[in-house]
Amino acid sequence: MGKKQVFFTGLMLFSLFFGAGNLIFPPLLGLESGGNFTPAMVGFLITGVILPFIAVLAVVTVDGGLVMIGSRVHKVFGVLFAILIYLSIGAFYAIPRAANVAYELGVQQFVKTEATLLLILFAAVFFGVTYYICLNPKKLVQMVGEWLTPILLVALAILFVRAFYLLESTTGPVTEKYAVNPFVTGFIEGYFTMDAVAAIAFGIVVINALKDYGIKSKKQQILGSVGAGVIAVTGLAAVYIGLGWIGAVMPQTQGLTNGAEVLTAASQLLFGNTGNLLFSVIVILACLTTCVGLINASASFFHGLYPRLSYKGYVRILSIVGFAITSLGLSIILDIAVPILVFIYPNAIVLMVLSLLQPVIGRGKSMYRVSVAFTLVYATYDVLTILGFNLDRFAKLIGFVPFFDLGLGWIVPAIVGALIGYVVDKIFSYEQSSSAVQKMNK
C-alpha cells in the first residue's frame, strides 16, 4: 500500500466532506463567539471532525457496511434505515442543497436577481459535470483528489494568508448564544453539519478507491482508510479553524447574519471586487466535489442492494432526480428534508458508536435494540415538534433528561439503553452457556 495512494485518497475524502455547510458554519461561529472562539471551536471540531472520522471507521471495519450495522437491530430495519439515509443524504436533500448553495453563493451574487431559468441552466451544467465525473468511479481519486481538491485548497490558502496579514487578531463581542456555554453551543453547531451521516456514505467511496488501487486485504483497507481519514480530518480541522478565525476577527460585522455573508464580506475586504470571484470558485468547487461523492456513494450502495440496474444507471437516475429537486429552490428543499434528518441523525450516531466499540462491548442484539428504541422516542418527538404538533404533555414525561432543551435529549437515554441491553445480553449469554454445560454433563 503506497503512501501516495493513501494521501490522494485522503485529499479526496476531505473534498467530499467539505461542502456548502462546512464552508459557511465556521465563519458564523467565529462571528458570534467572539472572545469565546477557542472553546466554541473545540466543541465544533468534536462533532464536525472527530465524529465523522469515527463514522468512516465504523463503516469500513464492518463487512456489509451500514446495512449490516442496522441489521443488528433487525434485518428489515437495517435495509430500510440504510435506504432512508442514502436517499436523504443523496438526491432528495444533500445533493440538491449543495447545488442550490453553489448557485446562490457562486452565481447569483453576480446576477443580483432571482431567475428560475438561470437556476435551471446552472443546475443542468452542474449535474452534467457531476454525472461525467461519476461515470468513471475508478478515476474519482485522480479527478477529485489530485485535481479539484488542490485547486480548492489553493483558493482557501490565498484567502487565509491574505486574512492573516491584513486582519488584526482582535475578536469581536460575544453574542448571547455563546456567552454562557460556548463549548456546548459549538458542539451542537458541529452536530448540525450532518457530516457524521454523510461519512457513512463516504466510507464506501474510500473502500472502493483503495480497491481500485489494488488493495484487496481487509486489514490493508482498514489501515488505508485510517490514514486517509487522518489526512481528511486534519485538513478539515485546519480549514475550520481558519474560516472561524476570519469570522472572529472581522472588523466590519454590522448586517452580517450568516456564514455566507461573512465570507463574502471578507473576500471583498481582502481582495476588492476580485474577492467575489475567489469566493465563487471556493463555493462551487466545494459543492461540486461533495455532490460527486454523494452520487458515487449512493449509486454504489443501490447497485449493491439491487444489482440488476447498473452503477451507471443509478448515477443517471440520481443526477436527474438531483437536477429536478434543485430546480425547486433551496427553501422548499429545507422544509421537506429537515424533519427527516432530525429523525435519522441520532439513530445513525448510536449505531456507528456501538459498531465501533464492538471489539470492547461485543455485538449483542439487545444492546442495539434497546439503545435504538430509546433514541427513537426522542427522535420521533423532535420530528413531530418540528412538524407543529403540540406535545407538551409528552414533553413533561421525557423532558427530565439532560440536554433535552437543546434537542439532544436522546444522548443519555441512548447510553442507558445500551447499558441495559449489554446486561441483558450478558445474562442471556450466561444462561445459554450454563444450559449447554448442563446438557454436556448429562
Q: What confidence score (pLDDT) does residue 337 get?
A: 67
Q: What confidence score (pLDDT) does residue 438 get?
A: 60
Q: What confidence score (pLDDT) does residue 442 get?
A: 57
Residues lower than pLDDT 50 in the chain: none
Instruction: Report d(CA 357, CA 367) in Å as an integer.
Output: 12
Instruction: Report d(CA 132, CA 309) in Å as an integer.
Output: 18
**Which CATH number is 3-328 given?**
1.20.1740.10
Q: Which amino acid is located at 33 in the chain?
A: S
> Which three three-digit cell numbers place residue 348?
445513525
CA triplet 261, 164, 158: central angle to 5 degrees? Answer: 70
Residue 384 Cα distances to 155, 340, 377, 380, 387, angstroms: 42, 11, 11, 6, 5
Q: What confidence score (pLDDT) does residue 412 get?
A: 94
In the chain, where the domains are located: 3-328, 341-442
